[in-house]
């Protein structure tokens, strides 16, 4: 069920659908809106993966890390829960609610935990004093996903959660009862796998801490991106190219605290031929970025939507080989693969536009973090 196939003997044309909706004042709205939006692009998926990320859904535990886990069996549950109790104060744990009378039938064990990092004096696995809580959680997620057979952490942020699996996205949304959740940011994905198998852990979004990524396309630079990330302690264990995007954004956005415009210029860097025709100041800047971060450049076609604690952004590859459209209405920002997905959520827009390749579409909460 959580089998991670290392080799795939088939190749099928690329599709995939992405959609994201954000209220920039932090006003929450029902998950039914994003389910309906992604459903309009049903034909871009093939039923091998769908998922959602939602921000602001756990106000009663907003200061806790919300771990969502998938398990193959009860022995994996016991081993992983014992490990979590050694490292964290477990405020609450439960099965993730889901419907049983849907087309989604064959699924792993699904549980969630609301955690705080233990003080060193209370833990048998002493927390290194130089580690922040975020870095401690990062290392814990890497360890479980790499070494705990039959267990997979697929969400680990605060006041947010990822819900994903094998199926069409609208079916996954209803399976997880997402209409019962209210969030100020929703992102979603309908999958059409190309070079990797359709399995529950390989569905999008990919998430680490409060970052989440949905992606349409194919990252041909996966190998060099993966090796680059391993220098910083990231373990790519999920056999899906999108995983490297989530980790690169965590590395640059959290660990290195780079501006999002700079991150966009690293992931979708201008061609050398374009840099050559820039003025001296820009030429120096982009030459330095390419020299320092060349191994983080994403080659291949992509359009992505990234969610985080206080915002959302969209980005295309530098020559726009995958579609991406954006729209605005009052305090709402919409980003999707197709305009129909935005019009479904908001028929009358103040503005709609198609971003250029490498051009970031940015939305931030008006008052910072929610």
Catalytic residues: 16
Tokens 């929610």 map to which residue? Answer: 370
97: which residues sit within 8 A by CB, 6+ positions away? 176, 177, 180
Query: H helices of the chain, where?
Result: 32-39, 74-87, 133-147, 169-175, 222-230, 242-250, 260-267, 272-275, 280-293, 339-345
DSSP string over 214-272: EEEE--TTHHHHHHHHHTTT----S--THHHHHHHHHIIIIIS---HHHHHHHHTPPPH
- CA–CA dist 167, 172 (Å, integer): 6
* Residue labelled with tokens 């796998």: 193
74 backbone φψ class: left, alpha, beta (φ>0; ψ -120 to 50): alpha
Tell me whether residue 214 is exposed, middle or buried, using C-beta atoms within 10 angstroms of its C-beta: 0 to 12, 13 to 18, 19 or more. buried
Going by the DSSP 8-state scheme, the letter that residue 108 receives in this structure is: -
Supply 111's token pair. 């549980």
């Amino acid at each position: 069920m959580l089998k991670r196939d290392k080799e795939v003997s088939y190749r099928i044309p690329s599709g995939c659908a992405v959609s994201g909706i954000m209220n920039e004042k932090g006003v929450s709205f029902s998950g039914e809106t994003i389910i309906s939006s992604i459903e309009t692009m049903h034909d871009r998926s093939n039923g091998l993966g769908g998922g959602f990320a939602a921000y602001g859904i756990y106000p009663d535990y907003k200061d806790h890390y919300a771990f969502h886990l998938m398990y193959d069996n009860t022995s994996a549950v016991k081993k992983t829960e014992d490990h979590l109790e050694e490292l964290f104060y477990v405020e609450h744990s439960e099965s993730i609610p889901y419907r049983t009378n849907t087309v989604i039938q064959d699924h792993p064990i699904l549980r969630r935990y609301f955690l705080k990092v233990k003080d060193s004096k209370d833990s048998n696995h002493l927390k290194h004093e130089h580690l922040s809580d975020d870095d401690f959680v990062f290392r814990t997620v890497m360890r479980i996903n790499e070494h705990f057979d039959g267990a997979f952490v697929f969400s680990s942020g605060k006041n947010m959660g990822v819900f994903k699996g094998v199926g069409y996205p609208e079916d996954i949304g209803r399976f997880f009862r997402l209409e019962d959740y209210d969030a100020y940011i929703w992102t979603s994905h309908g999958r059409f796998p190309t070079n990797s198998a359709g399995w529950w852990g390989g569905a999008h979004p990919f998430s680490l801490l409060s970052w989440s990524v949905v992606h349409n396309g194919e990252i041909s630079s996966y190998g060099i991106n993966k090796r680059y990330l391993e220098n910083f302690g990231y373990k790519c264990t999920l056999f899906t190219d999108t995983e490297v995007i989530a980790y690169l954004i965590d590395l640059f956005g959290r660990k290195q605290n780079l501006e999002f415009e700079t991150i966009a210029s690293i992931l979708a860097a201008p061609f050398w031929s374009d840099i050559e025709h820039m003025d001296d100041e820009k030429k120096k800047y982009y030459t330095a970025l390419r020299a320092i971060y060349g191994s983080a450049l994403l080659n291949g076609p992509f359009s992505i939507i990234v969610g985080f604690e206080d915002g959302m952004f969209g980005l295309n590859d530098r020559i726009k080989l995958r579609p991406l459209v954006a729209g605005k209405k009052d305090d709402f920002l919409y980003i999707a693969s197709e305009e129909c997905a935005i019009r479904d959520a908001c028929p009358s827009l103040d503005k709609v536009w198609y971003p250029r390749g490498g051009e970031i579409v940015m939305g931030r909460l008006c008052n910072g973090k929610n």
